[in-house]
């Protein structure tokens, strides 16, 4: 009798195809990927805010978590590869989202220049808005590049660029893999 119950559950699970859920969420993931690519193309202090905003919005919607749960519910080994990719994507989003020292916004709160902090490696964590003021002073000649604040400003820009570079390629690679997986399932 137990064997028949498992067979019935497998048949029911087969009918609830998580690939259709992936197909529904894929346009949002592609838009997310484009937002990340766009953030890479702007000045690092503005780009990091756009980057964290995109990541935090996806994290708030729980898109990847819901996809992972849909696959987990019906997995008997046949979805192991896609589940691993979704797990990796979720981990990357968590590492790059609201769970970082850079992003001090709360869930569902808009990420702004006042809530993103850089410079903690130098012991000078400051909001992006403060770094932008230093940038204006540097451009106007009030702050020499060789001063301590000028060096810290340059380091903050490099920190922002490094953070984006660290996460961007792997997230894009994972989303590209999911797109290809979806194409093969059609």
Give the helix/strand (H/E) hosting 117. strand 117-118
Domain locations along the chain: 2-185
134/70: higher pLDDT: 70
Determine the pLDDT at residue 127.
87
* Residues 53 and 61: beta-carbon distance below 8 Å: no
Q: What residues have CB less than 8 Å from 18, skipping those under 6 apart?
A: 67, 70, 71, 73, 74, 79
Rounded (10°) CA dihedral 55, 61, 62, 63: -80
Coil vs helix vs strand at 12: helix
- Which residue from 166, 150, 178, 16 is spatially nearest to 85, judged by alpha carbons? 178
- Which residue from 108, 5, 17 is spatially nearest to 59, judged by alpha carbons? 108
Q: Residue ranges of the alpha helices (H) in the chain?
A: 2-15, 18-40, 44-61, 63-73, 80-96, 128-140, 148-185
Predicted confidence (pLDDT) per residue in 8-64, tens digit? 555 555 556 899 999 999 999 999 999 999 998 899 999 999 999 999 999 999 999
Task: Output the CA angle 78-26-77, nearest 5 degrees.
Answer: 10
42/4: higher pLDDT: 42
Determine the pLDDT at residue 1.
45
Q: Model-level pTM?
A: 0.83
Predicted confidence (pLDDT) per residue in 85-137, tens digit? 999 999 999 998 887 788 888 999 999 999 998 875 556 688 888 888 877 77
Determine the pLDDT at residue 155.
82
Coil vs helix vs strand at 51: helix
Determine the pLDDT at residue 12.
55
């Amino acid at each position: 009798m137990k064997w028949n119950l498992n067979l019935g559950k497998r048949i029911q699970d087969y009918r609830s195809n998580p690939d259709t859920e992936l197909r529904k969420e894929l346009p949002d993931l592609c838009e997310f990927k484009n937002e990340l690519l766009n953030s890479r193309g702007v000045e690092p202090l503005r780009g990091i805010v756009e980057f964290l905003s995109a990541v935090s919005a996806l994290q708030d919607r729980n898109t990847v978590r819901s996809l992972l749960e849909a696959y987990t519910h019906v997995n008997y080994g046949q979805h192991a590869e896609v589940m691993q990719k979704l797990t990796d994507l979720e981990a990357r989003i968590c590492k790059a989202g609201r769970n970082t020292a850079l992003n001090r916004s709360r869930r569902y709160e808009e990420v702004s220049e006042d809530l993103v902090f850089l410079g903690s490696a130098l012991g000078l964590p400051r909001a992006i808005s403060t770094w932008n003021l230093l940038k204006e002073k540097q451009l106007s000649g009030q702050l020499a590049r060789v001063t301590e604040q000028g060096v810290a400003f340059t380091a903050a820009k490099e920190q922002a660029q490094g953070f984006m570079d660290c996460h961007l390629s792997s997230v894009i690679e994972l989303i590209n893999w999911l797109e290809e997986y979806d194409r093969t399932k059609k």
